[in-house]
Amino acid sequence: MRRLVEIVLHDMRSVHRGGGLLNANVAMVSTTIQRVAPRLSLALATHESVMQRAGAATTKIAAWVEGSRTNGTLSAFNQAYRKRRLAAQRTGARMMPYNTMLARLNRAMASHAAAAQTCAIPPDILRAVFGE
């Protein structure tokens, strides 16, 4: 993928020399990607298939969140949040509200949920959510 980006940028720079910035719109970038991908033997997904995958991932995440609330999977997150909230209270520091942290967890779990079969919250996700 990195190579594709490098070649696309190279091809576009050769068309738009000067100033160091590319003056391109979505259509131009899309056309360049479609022209370059075959050189690298890359198959491009259609817009429809990408939207289907995104919709499926969104549905999967929503189901995970709802299931987590009912089956206790969120207990590790809740414990981590409570521990940090109590520590913040002791030191007089501020802690983000629970709903804000839960939204951060949902975003962090998006890529994990799309690739993983488990709904467990990995420790690296918790560290990322809490900014550690």
CA atoms of 10 and 30, how far apart (whole Å): 14
Q: Could you tell me the pTM of the whole model? A: 0.48
Give DSSP secondary structure letters for 46-79: PHHHHHHHHHHHHHHHHHHHHHHHHHSTTHHHHH
Structure tokens at 13: 């720079």
Do 54 and 24 belong together in one domain?
A: no
Do 17 and 67 belong together in one domain?
A: no
3-state SS of 85-123? HHHHHHHCCCCCCHHHHHHHHHHHHHHHHHHCCCCCCCH
* pLDDT of 128: 79
Structure tokens at 59: 């549905």
CA atoms of 114 and 61, how far apart (whole Å): 8
Do 12 and 55 belong together in one domain?
A: no
* pLDDT of 70: 77
93: Cβ–Cβ under 8 A, 6 or more apart, which residues? 87
Per-residue pLDDT of the chain (132 residues; tens, 9 = 90+): 677 777 777 666 655 555 555 566 778 778 888 888 888 888 888 888 888 988 887 787 777 777 777 777 788 888 889 999 999 999 999 999 999 998 888 777 776 665 555 556 777 777 878 877
* pLDDT of 118: 56
Do 53 and 96 belong together in one domain?
A: yes
* pLDDT of 82: 93
Is there a contact between 98 and 88 (Cβ–Cβ < 8 Å)? no
Do 124 and 68 belong together in one domain?
A: yes
Range of the domain at 20: 2-40
Do 21 and 75 belong together in one domain?
A: no
CA atoms of 36 and 107, how far apart (whole Å): 32
CA atoms of 124 and 84, how far apart (whole Å): 16
Do 53 and 27 belong together in one domain?
A: no
Do 25 and 61 belong together in one domain?
A: no
Do 61 and 115 belong together in one domain?
A: yes
* pLDDT of 32: 81
pLDDT in tens, 107-122: 777 766 655 555 567 7
Structure tokens at 99: 């709903």
In total, how many domains does the chain have?
2
* pLDDT of 23: 63
* pLDDT of 98: 92
